[in-house]
Structure 1
Amino acid sequence: MGSDVIVEVTGSLGRIRLDRPKALNALTHAMIGDIDSALDRFAADPAIGAVLLSGEGERGLCAGGDLRSLYESEGTGFAESFWRDEYRLDARIAGYRKPFVALMDGITMGGGVGVSAHARHRVVTERSRIATPETGIGFLPDVGATWLLPRAPGEIGTYLGLTGEAVGAADAIFAGLADAMVPSARLPDLIRALAALPPEAGQNGVRAAIEAHAQDPGPAPLAEVRDVIDRCFAYDMVDEILAALQADGSDFAARILATLQAKAPASLVLTLCLLRRGRGAASLEAALEREFHAALALLAEGDFREGIRAAVIDKDRRPRWRPATLEAVDPAEIARWLEPRAEPVFPNLR
């Protein structure tokens, strides 16, 4: 199926193992195709009762998409093909008829969230670090994040989408990005239990197997600061959010204010627009469709290439955002970035 994706069958369990550990299992275009092909195979096999996605190596499930390939591509043709296939895969995982289990062990960010947080059964561990950090590279929380995040309690999703802050197991469950915490030492036992289930066990059988190995993740740190987050992130303008954080005066608000001030201004404005639109989205596909066109705009006209340069290519961590300030962001440009600019990802979407 491809050297970077291991596809195998263990008992009644179809396994998909991302196998680029040196690159934190970052998704290439070929890997996306390999995962999709594996889902075809497992869907057609009556002996397969459930599908399990995991990452090889000790560091995480998946750090996101392969940014270097996007940076080195000419124009937007490669990105259009890459994102079209990736977003269709994310939607397919969300609607997959057989139980789909994602092990979000370790780093699970960006595109890694796309192939896991839409799954029916999402397992985190004490090592999990879940994030949508795209505003820090001049991009936007994509792969359906603008569908997931607005459905978190209060303004937790707005906070996570704009800041890109990474959260652990308890917060991921609190935010609705995961379902259960299984200690990493018990994952082999969980996998054996899933493989031993009869093919007809279904969603309830898989859920029961996970619950039998799960532990209480403890209190969610975000719950302790939710009042500040709900109050400060309730606004529909980024400058109002920043003003509210500054007025709050708490150490937490001051830290988050500094975090936001380092992000790409145009990406913050665009992301907030997409998050607010995501609240009223009719479906995950509708949110993905908006993300697709906005992503192409940021690659062609925004700060995405500069963000990749600073973080991945030159690694100087000194991006030169254009515009450099929130005040200089042109609302007309943001509105244009929200308009369709390519053939749709989901042609039958209404």
Structure 2
Amino acid sequence: DAVEAALASLPSSGGVEECLRGFSEDVAVPPFTLAEDAPVLAKAFGTITPSTRLRDIMDVLRADGSAFAARTLEVMERNSPVGMTLALENMKRQHTPGCNTVMESFRGDYTMVQTSICADGLAKGVEALLVTKDKRPQWTVGSVDELDVELVKQQLTLTEGRASLFTAGKG
């Protein structure tokens, strides 16, 4: 209320910043929580190319040997191989010359979400978390090594071809 009254009493917008400064206080900003792990992140995820596979990322983490790399690897081994592959393929698509606007990036994200909803991994993950509550989903594909990445790419392409929210006109 005091801020609103002070702003309303200003003769012009010229003093807004100074007025707000009078009501502000310095707040300690915590350090970036992943700062010490940035080199591991850069090694594992910073050099993704069109040929990068999930196994490549996991191998980098395994070779690193740090506690952070081990925890990250543990999460990756627990997560859906299909879901992680969808995310990786979406990242690859969005780092190409064909994806150079925010809208194209949104289209890619939307396509990935649509594809993941159609894949049974999402349903299995929700079931394990909310229904059985055992938090151990039984994925159709047991590991990234069993996954046919080409099938995931085909599914993304099929989903991309469907009408979407981002299609001009009716959609």
User: Counterpart amino acid of 2:103?
Assistant: E
Q: Does the CA contact (< 8 Å) of 1:245 and 1:253 recur in 2? A: yes
What residue ranges of structure 1 are gaps of 5+ in the alignment?
A: 1-188
Matched, 1:318 2:130: no
Deviation at 1:209, TM superposition (A): 4.3
Choose the corresponding residue for 1:308, options 126, 133, 147.
126
What residue ranges of structure 2 are gaps of 5+ in the alignment?
A: none
CA spacing shift, 1:302–1:209, aligned 2, 3 Å:
farther
Choose the corresponding residue for 2:39, options 208, 227, 231.
227
User: Counterpart amino acid of 2:151?
Assistant: E
Deviation at 1:255, TM superposition (A): 1.6
Q: Does the CA contact (< 8 Å) of 2:120 and 2:140 recur in 1? A: yes
Q: Which residue of 2 aligns with 1:269?
A: 85
Deviation at 1:327, TM superposition (A): 1.1
Matched, 1:212 2:24: yes
**TM-score, length-normalised on structure 2?**
0.75
CA spacing shift, 1:194–1:338, aligned 2, 3 Å:
farther
SS in 2 for 1:215: coil
More displaced stretch, 224-233 vs 283-292: 283-292
SS in 1 for 2:139: coil
User: Counterpart amino acid of 1:284?
Assistant: V
Q: Which residue of 1 aligns with 2:104?
A: 286
Matched, 1:332 2:144: no
Higher helix share: 2
Q: Does the CA contact (< 8 Å) of 1:293 and 1:342 recur in 2? A: no
Deviation at 1:195, TM superposition (A): 8.5
Matched, 1:345 2:161: no
For residues 309 and 299 of structure 1, the distance between their equivalents in structure 2, rounded to whole angstroms, comes to 13
Task: Quote the sequence identity (%).
Answer: 23
**TM-score, length-normalised on structure 1?**
0.39
CA RMSD of aligned residues (A): 3.0
CA spacing shift, 1:314–1:267, aligned 2, 3 Å:
same
Deviation at 1:283, TM superposition (A): 2.6
Q: Does the CA contact (< 8 Å) of 1:306 and 1:319 recur in 2? A: yes
User: Mapping of 1:117-128 within 5 angstroms?
Assistant: none
For residues 195 and 342 of structure 1, the distance between their equivalents in structure 2, rounded to whole angstroms, comes to 52
User: Mapping of 1:1-350 within 5 angstroms?
Assistant: 193=3, 197=7, 209=20, 212-213=24-25, 215-233=27-45, 234-235=47-48, 236-280=52-96, 281-339=99-157, 340-348=160-168
CA spacing shift, 1:194–1:246, aligned 2, 3 Å:
farther
Of structures 1 and 2, the larger Rg is shown by 2
Runs (4+) of structure 1 moved beyond 4 Å? 194-198, 208-211
User: Counterpart amino acid of 1:219?
Assistant: P
For residues 269 and 194 of structure 1, the distance between their equivalents in structure 2, rounded to whole angstroms, comes to 50
Deviation at 1:326, TM superposition (A): 0.5
